[in-house]
Structure 1
């Protein structure tokens, strides 16, 4: 049986990925695999996620604060707070914070899979400023239904 969850600001397990912090607010463990909700805080000038697709996941983004540049099917969108984007399966997408202030993005994954393990793996690969190899990144991505899309 699932129990209700209340997380105050700053609460939830989090991992550091370079200059960003990803906090797992709800994972598939809490929702019987239906969805996961993560809070992603990016410092100014953060690259974020380069364009990729998911073959099994639908992903949704909601900008809480700051400005986020979203890439959706090769179109760049400057997303202000309260912007929502639905990314269907097999749709190229990515995000970054090219601005001068911190930004916060909520990311919802359906189904949840074990998506937090991808972010935990990425945090481990980039720990202490380490630059992972392309092979390491590809191996991690493919374990969790993430496939890179070549840049234009």
Structure 2
């Protein structure tokens, strides 16, 4: 059963992925699996996600602060606050912080599909500066409907 929820700034369960922090604001458990919303805070120069696709998932990105390079198919755009990107299934996309300041991105997706488990797995693989192998990354990605675009 879903419960009403208010989270103040800094609230919500979060994981550290290299120099970025991913905070789970709403997960599938909160929304009957309809959608999820995560806040992704990135340090300057942080790589968020290299180009990939989802076969079953629609993903949306909203820039809150900073300069985020959004990749959508062949397009690369340096997005400012209030920029939005809609990514239908099977569409290559990625993002990174190309600015000189911290950047914040809201990542929304539906269906929710336990998406937080992907970010938890990535946090575990990169804990304490560890560099995961390509095989470890591919295994994690494929378990959560994420496929790299070469």
TM-score by length of 2: 0.99
| Shift in Å, 1:47 | 1.1
Q: How does 1:3-152 map to 2 (within 5 A)?
A: 3-150=3-150
Cα distance in 2 for residues equivalent to 1:4 and 1:62 = 23
Q: How many residues align?
A: 150
| Shift in Å, 1:145 | 0.1
Pairwise CA RMSD = 0.5
| Shift in Å, 1:74 | 2.1
TM-score by length of 1: 0.98
Cα distance in 1 for residues equivalent to 2:7 and 2:13 = 10
Cα distance in 2 for residues equivalent to 1:74 and 1:102 = 25
| Shift in Å, 1:98 | 1.5
Cα distance in 2 for residues equivalent to 1:72 and 1:110 = 18
Question: Residue by residue, what CA displacement relative to the aligned partner does 1:60-115 show, whole Å, maximum 9, x if unpaired?
Answer: 00000011000000210110000011000000000000210000000001000000
Task: State the SS of the aligned residue for 2:139.
Answer: helix
Cα distance in 1 for residues equivalent to 2:43 and 2:57 = 26
Moved over 4 A (4+): none
